[in-house]
Amino acid sequence: MTKIGIVVGSTREGRAGRSVGEWVLSKTSNRDVEYEIVDIKDYDLPFIGTTENQENVIKWNEKLNSLDGFVFVVAEYNHSITGALKNALDSAREAWNNKAAGIVSYGSAGGARAAEHLRGILSELQIASVRSHILLSLFDDFKNFSEFNPRSIHDDNLNQLFDQVESWSMALSSLRGDENE
């Protein structure tokens, strides 16, 4: 069975990221593949290279190894991705390779600038990012710029994103040599 991780990319207290991730998950109930939330905050990853204790980094890599593709939930911080997401991306290598991903971003301009930065990073990690992209506006999809309140206009686009991530994740499984082919 193909498994897709919904990677929640922000970790701060009071973040909107977890609600956005849960919304993405709620839209997957009619899909034929498995989706799960993979919350970076749950792994408490050390900043790369700062400790010899690699227990959480190993757990992180094991989780990524169990997944075929990803939907990244991306907050825009200073026109880029969060430091927490960059550190989580840097904390694995082979476990990312030859997989597919879609991006759900949010910010005042829909998180577009962070999403485009992320695409460059994903190509270095050999993750193929699909065209469909959900841009959530802090003005229109949040109340008071903080409480997530998405418009239903995103639903069709989100389904297209799932179609693309699923088909590319399955197509790339021949390169991964998975037993899930």
Footprint of ligand FMN (CB under 6 A): 10, 12, 15-17, 75-79, 107-109
Shortest Å distance, C-beta 117 to ligand FMN: 11
Q: Which is nearer to ligand FMN, 25 or 33 (CB)?
A: 25
Q: Which is nearer to ligand FMN, 40 or 172 (CB)?
A: 40
Q: Decide whether 60 or 106 has the Cβ nearer to ligand FMN.
A: 106
CA nearest neighbour of 169 among 17, 10, 31, 25:
31
Nearest-approach distance from CB 97 to ligand FMN, in angstroms? 27
β-bridge partners, 105: 74, 135
Q: In angstroms, what is the minimal distance from the CB of 109 to ligand FMN?
A: 6
Select from 71, 119, 128 the least CA-distant residue to 97.
Answer: 128
- Which token pair is 122? 């994903």
Nearer to ligand FMN, 6 or 16 (CB): 16
Distance of closest approach, residue 10 Cβ to ligand FMN, in angstroms: 3
Chain position whose Cβ is nearest to ligand FMN? 107
Residues constituting the chain: 181
Measured from the CB atom, is 10 or 98 closer to ligand FMN?
10
Shortest distance (Å) from residue 83 CB to ligand FMN: 9
1 burial type by CB count under 10 A (0-12 exposed, 13-18 middle, 19+ buried): exposed
**Which of 60, 5, 1 lies closest to 28, judged by CA?**
5
Quick one: 6 exposed, middle or buried, by C-beta within 10 A (0-12, 13-18, 19+)? buried
